[in-house]
């Protein structure tokens, strides 16, 4: 059994096959460019405090929706234009987890931040990004 749901595991495997730190960074930057902000049908500014990710200096917000088949849709807003890492994580999680069952999404723990970004993140950044993952899980338990 793999550590993460299949599509997310594929991204983790791909990033961990990168040759060096620069390649990993380029890979993540490309994902950050795919980031899409939550649509106005889901949420409007000012975004509710309950959706804000604690500790994330990039001012990130998370919404989760679960349909009648218990399939999850994730939505994100990263309000800091320089929050590239947060955007990359948001794009990766949307691409790989949207449409998965809630119980599957719930198995993803904050290790994913380490597995994607490597061990070179500062503690603050690490807390912010793991905060995004924890916020998703927190919302799914509500």
Partner 1 sequence: MDNIESRGYIKSEVLVSTEWVMKNLTKNSVRIVESNEDPLLYSSGHIPGAVQIDWTNDLNDHVRRDYLDKNGFEKLMSSNGISNDTTVVFYGDKNNWWACYAFWIFQLFGHANSKIMDGGRLKWINEKLPLAKDLPTYPQTEYISPMRNDHEIRAFRDDVLRHVRNGLPLVDVRSPEEFNGLRLHMPDYPNEGSLRGGHIPGAVNIPWAEAVNSADGTFRSADELRQIYEIDNHLQKDDELITYCRIGERSSHTWFALTYLLGYENVRNYDGSWTEWGNMVGVPVQKGK
Q: Considering the rule CB under 8 A, would residue 108 count as an interface residue with partner 1?
A: no
Interaction pattern, residues 14-43, with partner 1; x per rule: CB under 8 A: -------xx--xx-xx--x-----------
Q: Considering the rule CB under 8 A, would residue 81 count as an interface residue with partner 1?
A: yes
Distance of CA 1 to the CA centre of its chain: 22
Candidates 82, 103, 109, 114; binder of partner 1 (CB under 8 A) is 82
Q: Considering the rule CB under 8 A, would residue 84 count as an interface residue with partner 1?
A: yes
| Closest CB 134 distance from partner 1, rounded Å | 7
The answer to whether residues 124 and 56 touch, using CB atoms and an 8 Å cutoff, is no
Distance of CA 108 to the CA centre of its chain: 10
Angle at 117 between CA 98 and CA 61, to 5 degrees: 50
| Closest CB 69 distance from partner 1, rounded Å | 27
- Is the C-alpha dihedral spanning 93, 127, 76, 138 positive or negative? positive
Candidates 4, 61, 76, 117; binder of partner 1 (CB under 8 A) is 117
The answer to whether residues 112 and 136 touch, using CB atoms and an 8 Å cutoff, is no
Q: Considering the rule CB under 8 A, would residue 96 count as an interface residue with partner 1?
A: no
Closer to partner 1 by CB, 79 or 99: give it.
79
Residue 60, beta-bridge partner list: 78
Number of residues in the chain = 142
Distance of CA 118 to the CA centre of its chain: 15
Binding residues for partner 1, per CB under 8 A?
A: 21-22, 25-26, 28-29, 32, 54-55, 57-58, 81-85, 88, 110, 117, 120-125, 127, 130-131, 134, 138
């Amino acid at each position: 059994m793999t550590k993460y749901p299949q599509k997310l595991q594929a991204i983790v495997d791909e990033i961990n096959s990168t040759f060096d730190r620069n390649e990993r960074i380029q890979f993540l930057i490309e994902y950050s460019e795919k980031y899409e902000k939550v649509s106005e049908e889901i949420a409007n500014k000012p975004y509710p405090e309950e959706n804000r990710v604690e500790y994330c200096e990039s001012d990130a917000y998370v919404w989760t929706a679960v349909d009648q088949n218990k399939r999850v849709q994730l939505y994100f807003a990263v309000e800091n234009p320089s929050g590239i890492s947060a955007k990359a994580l948001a794009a990766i999680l949307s691409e790989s987890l949207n449409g998965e069952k809630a119980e599957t999404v719930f198995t993803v723990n904050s290790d994913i931040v380490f597995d994607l970004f490597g061990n070179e993140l500062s503690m603050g950044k690490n807390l912010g990004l793991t905060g995004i993952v924890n916020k998703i899980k927190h919302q799914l338990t509500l």
